[in-house]
A and B are shown apart, each in its own frame.
Chain A
C-alpha cells in the first residue's frame, strides 16, 4: 500500500540551489565566514552562546540533510549518536584529562565504528522498519545513562574544558565558537562534495530499487555509508556541544531532542545543506530568546513544520531561493533537482561510439548468453518452464510469444530482477545464476523496462550519467576527494548521441514523449558499454515512423553488442533479428531465423492465429 494522493503535483523542489550556485567550496567558505563573523560580533555574550549551540546542532543537521534529505533514509537515531559524541568528550576530558580538541577525532571515529556495527544491521531493513526500529533507540539509551553512575546518572557530567580555552569565559566561548564554525564549514564542504559527486546521482536513483539494481548501484553499501556518515557528523556535533556548553546530560539522547533536530532540518530545508544550517541556528535562536517566542516555542515549531510541509517541502532554503529568483529574475541556477554542474565540452567524447561497446562481445568462441533449463514458478503457475537457449555473440535476437507466455519473466531471470527456481544463466561463460541484478549489471548486463523507469527529477543527461558512474566501485571517501561526475556526463552525452537523442539532454524525462523516454532509457542501457543488452518491448506504444527509426537503431546496435529484444511486433522482429525464440506457456517452442519463423506452422497458428482452434487446444493442454 502506498501513499497515493488523488492528484499528485510534482514539486520542483530545488535541492540546494544556493549550494549549487556557489559550489561546495564557496558554500563552505561562506558558511564558515558568516558563522565566525557572527560569533565574534556577539562578543561571547548570551546570544553568542546560543549561536554556538546552534552551530553544534547545525553540524548534526548537515549530516541529516545528506542522510535523510537526499537518500530518504529516515533514521531517528541521530540524537543517540549526538549524545554519544558529547559523552565521549565529557568522559575523556573530565575523567582522563584529555584536551577536548584531541578527543574529537577519537569520538568521531568511535561513533563511526558503532555506526557501522548498528548500521550494518538496521540499514538492511526496508524504509518503514528502519524508521520504526530507530525510533526506539533513544529510550533504552536514555534509561541506561540515567541509571549509570559512571555517566553521572541524572545530573550528567559537568566541568568539561572548552574546545579552545581563552583568557576568560567569554573569550573561551568566542574561540570555541570559531573552532566550531570551522568544523561546520568542513562538514558543509564534505556534504557538498558528496552531493556534487556521482553519489548525489546515485542517491536520487536509489529510491527506485529496480532501476538501481539494473544500473549496478550497490544500494546496500550506499545506505550503510550514509548511515555511518550521519552518525559521525552527529557525534561531531555532540562533541562540539560538549566542548562549548561544558555540561552534558541524558536529555541529549532523548526522543525530544531527536524531534527537535528533525524540526530544524525540515524547517530549514531538508534538501539543502545551507538550509539545514539555517534551520538549526534559527530554531536554536528562537529557543534561546527569552521572550514570547521562547514560551510558545512548541506551537511555533509545530506551525512552521506544518507550513513547510504544506507549502514548500524545500523549507526556508527553497522559499529564500524562490524569492530571490523572483526579485532578481532568472539566473544561471537551474530549478531541476539533482547535482547539476555545467556540461563541459563534449567534442572529445561526443562522437565516440559508446566507448567500451566497441570492443565487446570480443570472445566470439564463448557464447554471449546461455540459459540452461531456466525455470521460474509463481505459486502454481509455471511462468518459465525449463527454457534452454544459446546466443552466440554480437547481433540481434528476438523473443516473442503470446501474452503471458513468460517472455518478460525470462528477461527478468536473465537480468537478475527475479531469482531462478532452477537452471543456470551464463553470461560470456560466467555463471551468474546466483548473482544479484546489481552484480550482473556490473558484469555487463544492461536492460530497459517494459514500462519506462526513469528518475523524474533528474535531467535526461543525468539519468543516463548514473549508468556511467564509476563511483559504484568507490567508497564515499573517494567521492569527497575526487568527483568523476563530469566524466560520467560526457559519456552520457555520447550515449544519448549514439541513440540519436543528444537534443534531449537537458529535458525533464517526465515531459518527454514516450519515444523520447524510451530513447533516454535505451541510452542509459548502452551508456555503460554492456556486453548484453536486454530490451523489454521497446516498440510498444510507438507509431509507425517511430518504429522505423527504432528499427534502424536496433540494427546498428546489433553490430556492436549482443541485443536481446522481447517484442510483440512480430514483423519488426522477423525483419531484424538473426534468430528468434518463441515462448508459449513458459516453454520454448520454436527457434530459428526470420525466414523459418515466417514459414513456421507453429508461429502461424499460435502467434498469428491463422489456424483456428489450435490456440484453444494449446491452452487446454
Chain B
C-alpha cells in the first residue's frame, strides 16, 4: 500500500510538471495556433536565474524571483514584438505545420545558447521556497517542492479552464485562435491577445521552474526535453484545452510511474512512449487534434 502511495505521489509530481507545461502550450496554441516549444526554456531561465541572483550574487530571494520574472516577461514581449509580429502580422506565414513547430523551436535554440553563456553548463536549482526535508506521512514520501508544483498545476489549470469557459475575455481569446479574421472583424485585438498570452505563459513557466527546480534541477539545455513532454501532454488535450491538459499531464505522469514501478524500472519511459505513440497513431481522434493545413 505504501509502495502504491509513493508511486502515486511520484507520478503526480512528474505529471504536474508535464501538466504545467501543457497548460502553457495549450493556452497559447488556442490564441496563436502555434506551439510554444520554448516554454521549457522559460522554466529553465526561471530556475537558473533565481539561482544565479540569490545564491551566487546573494540577492534577497523575493527580489530575485521578481527580477527574474520581469526579465522573462520582457524576453517574451520582445520576441513577440520582433519575431511574431513579422511572422504573423506581416503575413510571412509558413505552411501550417512549419509555423506550428519551428518559430518557437528557433527561440528555444537562442534561449539555450544564451543560458549556456550566462549560467554555464552545471546543473543547478533555485533555492527551495518551502525548505526542509521531505515530509513523511505514514511511510509516504512527500517532497515539499512536489506539493507546490502539483498545487500550482491544479490551480492554474482549473483557473484558466474556468476563465475560458465563463468570462468574456476567455471567449474572445478562444475566438482569436478559432478564426483570427472573424475575431478581428468583431473587434477583438488578437495581436494584443497573442502577445499577452505569450508573456503570461512564459511567466507561468518561469514560476513553475522556480517552484519545481528542487525536484528536477536545471541545466542550460533542460528546456527542450521539458518542452517536448509538454507538447505530448498538450496533444492529448487537443492542444487547446488547459483544463484537459492538466488531466492529461497528471495521467501521463501516473502512467509513467506505474509502468516503471510495476512493470520495468529501466524501460518505464520507453513503455510510456510506446503507449502514447500508439494512441497518437491509432486513435488520433481521441486527442481531438486540430486539422492542420500542411
Contacts and interface: CB of A to CB of B under 8 A. Distances in A.
Interface of A: 1-9, 72, 74, 121-122, 124-129, 131-133, 135-137, 139-140, 143-144, 147, 207, 255-256, 259, 262-263, 266, 295-303, 305-306, 309-311, 313
Interface string B164-208: 000000000000011111001000000000000000000000000
Contact of B293 (A3, A6, A133, A259): A3
Contacts of B109: 259, 263, 298-299, 301-302, 305
B91 A6 contact: yes
Contact of B290 (A1, A139, A143, A309): A1
A135 B227 CA distance: 12
Interface in B88-123: 88-103, 105-114, 116-117
11 contacts: A3-B100, A3-B293, A6-B89, A6-B91, A121-B281, A132-B231, A207-B294, A266-B102, A302-B108, A309-B103, A311-B92
B292 interface: yes
B151 interface: no
A129 B292 CA distance: 10
Contacts of A296: 113, 117
B136 interface: no
A223 B95 CA distance: 18
A163 B183 CA distance: 59
B110 A74 contact: no
Nearest to B294: A72
- Looking at A139, A144, A311, the one whose CB has the most chain B CB atoms below 10 A away is A139
Given A125-B281, A266-B102, A302-B106, A72 B276 contact: no
A301 B117 CA distance: 15
A18 B33 CA distance: 34
Given A3-B96, A5-B180, A128-B290, A139 B113 contact: no
A541 to B, nearest CB: 22
Contacts of A139: 269-270, 273
A1 B177 contact: yes
Contacts of B105: 259, 262, 305
Q: Which 5 A-B pairs have the closest CB atoms?
A: A298-B113, A302-B109, A299-B113, A302-B110, A140-B270
Contacts of B179: 4
Given A3-B292, A6-B184, A298-B112, A135 B232 contact: yes
Nearest to A74: B97
Interface SS of chain B: helix, strand, loop or mixed? helix
Contacts of A124: 281
B267 interface: yes
B284 A125 contact: yes
B125 to A, nearest CB: 22
Interface of B: 33-34, 83, 86-103, 105-114, 116-117, 177-181, 184, 221, 224-225, 228, 231-232, 235, 240, 266-267, 269-270, 273-274, 276-277, 280-281, 284, 287, 289-294
Contact of B87 (A122, A256, A299, A309): A309
Interface SS of chain A: helix, strand, loop or mixed? helix
Contacts of B277: 133, 136-137
B280 A3 contact: no
A297 B221 CA distance: 13
A73 B268 CA distance: 30
Contacts of A126: 284, 289, 291-292
Contacts of B287: 129
Given A74-B101, A128-B290, A301-B113, 9 more contacts: A4-B179, A6-B184, A128-B97, A132-B232, A299-B110, A302-B108, A302-B112, A305-B105, A306-B106
B110 A143 contact: no
Contact of A255 (B89, B224, B269): B224
A527 B205 CA distance: 56
B113 A302 contact: yes
Contacts of B269: 139-140, 143
Contact of A7 (B91, B221, B235, B276): B91
Contact of A6 (B102, B180, B284): B180
Nearest to A2: B293
B94 A309 contact: yes
A133 B281 contact: yes
Contacts of A135: 228, 231-232
Contact of A3 (B33, B225, B273): B33
A270 to B, nearest CB: 9
Given A5-B91, A299-B110, A122 B224 contact: no
Nearest to B238: A1
Contacts of B34: 3
Given A2-B292, A128-B290, A129-B284, A305 B113 contact: no
A310 B91 CA distance: 10
Contacts of A5: 88, 91, 93, 180
